[in-house]
Amino acid sequence: MLRYLIRGVLILAILSMSVSARKVIPLSKTRFRVLYDDGHSKVYDLKGDEFIVVSVREPGSDGRFYAVDRDGMVWLTGPITSGADDFKTPSGIYCALYKRRYYMSKRYPDPSGIDNMDFSIFFTHQGHALHKGSVNWMSHGCIHIDPKTIPTLFRWAKPGSTRIIITRASYMPFARHDLLMFNLH
């Protein structure tokens, strides 16, 4: 009985870490302003947390992901593609819910029968995930990450603690210094 109570509390804690929003604006390397549909906003500071910022391809953004460690250092980056017009990836601050090394989309299965969402890091209960995919075409709402890069990100991300920030604004101004230092640009 106690095990189920603890599990329920953990699930509620994880859900409280996820914030779907109308707009997410990076203010610094670790601070983000979230604008909600009802007009109010809140600033979240993720200093000391590990997180992944995903800047989707829209005017003013750069179509990249950025992995940020607990020290606030951007240590990994790469190009992404996100949801096509009819399948927009939702903006917000989420918590990685769970990971699956091998996975076939239930809603959009590949006709060949080959897993089409390997290295999935799920961040919504509707099935949105960062996963292996071509960065040359848009998705059904997930974030495609290059097949050479996603295994590293998959191993690093921790369900229940790694945050995933989806923004339609550029994060590059805050990441540029680290990327130049590590020659990751």
Each residue's pLDDT tens digit, 134-164: 888 877 778 999 999 999 999 999 999 999 9
* Number of neighbouring beta carbons within 10 Å of residue 164: 25
Mean pLDDT, to the nearest integer, of 87-92? 88
User: Would you state the structure tokens that stand for residue 150, as one six-digit string?
Assistant: 């996603």
Q: Is the pLDDT reported for residue 30 higher than 50?
A: yes
Task: Kindly report, residue by residue over 3-19, the tens digit of the pLDDT.
Answer: 544 444 444 444 445 66
- Percent residues over pLDDT 90 in the chain: 61
**CA 31: distance to chain centroid?**
16
* CATH superfamily of the 2-181 domain: L,D-transpeptidase catalytic domain-like (2.40.440.10)
Mean pLDDT, to the nearest integer, of 52-68? 89
Mean pLDDT, to the nearest integer, of 119-148? 90
Q: How far apart are CA 94 and CA 113, in angstroms?
A: 30
pTM confidence score:
0.85
> Of 79, 76, 85, which Cα lies nearest the Cα of 63?
79
The beta strands (E) that lie in the chain are given as 19-20, 23-26, 31-35, 41-45, 51-55, 64-68, 74-81, 92-95, 98-100, 120-122, 129-132, 143-145, 163-167
